[in-house]
Structure 1
Amino acid sequence: MAGCGHPASRDECEAIFKRSAEIELRAQNIVDPRLVEERTAAVRSARGNELIDRCVGRRITDAALSCVRQATTPEQVDRCLE
């Protein structure tokens, strides 16, 4: 049953984390690519591994991953992962 999803891989969780961070920063009007990268790295070093480790192995669908990639607001990301 393809609709049931699969266990999320570390790469998938990393992509979700990175996209979520980018969207959160844009919501705060932080759009400079260098600054976005720096802030994302700072959050990752502080809590990223913990968040990613909690994600790895959880059920996720290809549709949810596609949804996250296309999301433009934090609320959309949340809805993608419900």
Structure 2
Amino acid sequence: MRIPSTLLAIALAAAPAPLVLGCSHEATEAECQLIVDRNVELQMKAMNNPDPAAIQKKQEEVRQEMKDDLRTNCLGRKVTDAMMKCVRNAKTTDEISQCLR
């Protein structure tokens, strides 16, 4: 199974940093990893692979693959607490993309 490595970049590019509404702050490494981890988890579940160990292994692989993308496309971008709550509660990757707009 291949998770697109540009998924995070696409999702974050959709969120115009200076126009984020509400009290925003710069995304932390933990928040960027949460976005990646939730995307991987939801994609694997959508492909009928809900095994927690398999999901965790894939999350680690994708985080490693996307280390540079996280630094350049996520870390320091403007996010809000509401955006991150939305990411945590999303049921699909499309919902995550909507959260980050």
Q: TM-score range by the shorter chain?
A: 0.7 to 0.9
The RMSD of aligned alpha carbons is 1.5
The list of structure 1 runs, each at least 4 consecutive aligned residues, that deviate by more than 3 angstroms after superposition, is: none
Q: Where does structure 1 lack aligned partners over 5 or more consecutive residues?
A: none
- Distance in 1 separating the partners of 2:64 and 2:84: 23
Query: Is the 2:27–2:78 Cα contact (8 Å) retained in structure 1?
Result: yes
- Distance in 2 separating the partners of 1:59 and 1:66: 14
Cα deviation digits, residues 13-72 of structure 1 (max 9, x gap): 11111111111111111101111111222222222x123212001010110000000001
> Match for 1:35 among 49, 54, 78?
54
With the length of structure 2 as denominator, give the TM-score of the two structures. 0.72
Identity %: 35
- Distance in 2 separating the partners of 1:46 and 1:10: 15
1:26 counterpart SS class:
helix
> Match for 1:66 among 70, 77, 85?
85
AA in 1 matched with 2:86: C
2:70 aligns with 52
When you count helix as a share of all residues, which structure comes out higher? 1
Between the two proteins, the alignment pairs up a number of residues equal to: 80
With the length of structure 1 as denominator, give the TM-score of the two structures. 0.86
2:94 aligns with 75
- Distance in 1 separating the partners of 2:61 and 2:49: 14
